Amino acid sequence: MTGKHILQNDLALRFLCALGALYIRLCFALGRWQVVNGHIPQRLWDEGTPFILSFWHGRLLMMPYCWRKGVPIHTLISQHRDGRILARMVSHFGVHTIEGSSSRGGGTALRTILAALQTGESIGITPDGPRGPRMRASSGIISIARLSGAPILPATFAVTRRRVLNSWDRFVLAWPLTHGVIAWGEPITVARDADEAAQEATRRNLERRLNDITAEADRLCGHEEIKPAEIEAGETKEPEEPVGPSGEREGAA
């Protein structure tokens, strides 16, 4: 059976996703983990305040273990096959998923995200996913923060023993028996009346903070930082989320 046929076989796919979740559990259980600035999410969890968890696509593997057990969270995924594989894998950790992308389901996903935040449930978003450029934030997460009033919390992980895949996102694959760091950044808020210039400034601020904490986590683990993808002067990431609740273009998730 080829790799393509395996991914099309529901039973095989379920097995592979369960195996992937088991691998993540082993990496965490057999590692030594340090949390940097853990007081930041703890305060919001203790208050029952929902927020938008933001992390780079390449740092996705161990992110289920940054989250407090029992606190509900939904993660935005693409509607493509890779997104659905991810949905099955993270479901083993009690993470719910919302499907949405630039081509299908955008407006519906945005409405679902806003409804979840309004009912006190947090959202996880990779602002450079699902297509990149690597470590460059799209504007959709800023739109969601503006519309919902929820703060954005940057987060990341790094490990001493790893393999960096040659993928668009430079995906970090942790090895067992590693020392790991889970790092959080200060919350970022967006005013409801923020104009386009203010939203762009906030997007750049989020991108900078995420890259800063990711570089620092890598440094603590003895690695040089992974550089963001090069972009042309004046270029920004295209929005992922095509429409908002009123039908206007709202940017990416």
Q: Is the dihedral of CA 64, 70, 73, 77 positive or negative?
A: positive
Across 38-65, average pLDDT: 97
Share of the chain above pLDDT 90, in %: 70
Greatest mean pLDDT among 10-14, 222-226, 239-243 lies in 222-226
User: Residue 6: its pLDDT value, please?
Assistant: 54
User: Residue 86: its pLDDT value, please?
Assistant: 77
Nearest to 237 by CA among 123, 87, 126: 126
User: Residue 88: its pLDDT value, please?
Assistant: 81
Mapping DSSP to helix (H, G, I), strand (E, B) and coil, where does residue 93 land?
coil
AA identity, residue 172: V
Which domains are delineated in the chain? 3-220 (3.40.1130.10)
Residues in the chain: 253
Across 97-124, average pLDDT: 81
User: Residue 81: its pLDDT value, please?
Assistant: 66
pLDDT tens digits for range 167-196: 999 999 999 999 999 999 999 999 999 999
- Give the angle subtended at the CA of 153 by the CAs of 150 and 157, to the nearest 5°: 155
User: Residue 248: its pLDDT value, please?
Assistant: 40
Nearest to 135 by CA among 123, 126, 143, 144: 126
Strand 179-184 and strand 152-159: pairing? antiparallel
Give Rg (Cα) of the chain.
17
State if pTM tops 0.75: yes
61 or 243, which is more confident = 61
Q: What is the mean pLDDT of the chain?
A: 87
User: Residue 223: its pLDDT value, please?
Assistant: 98
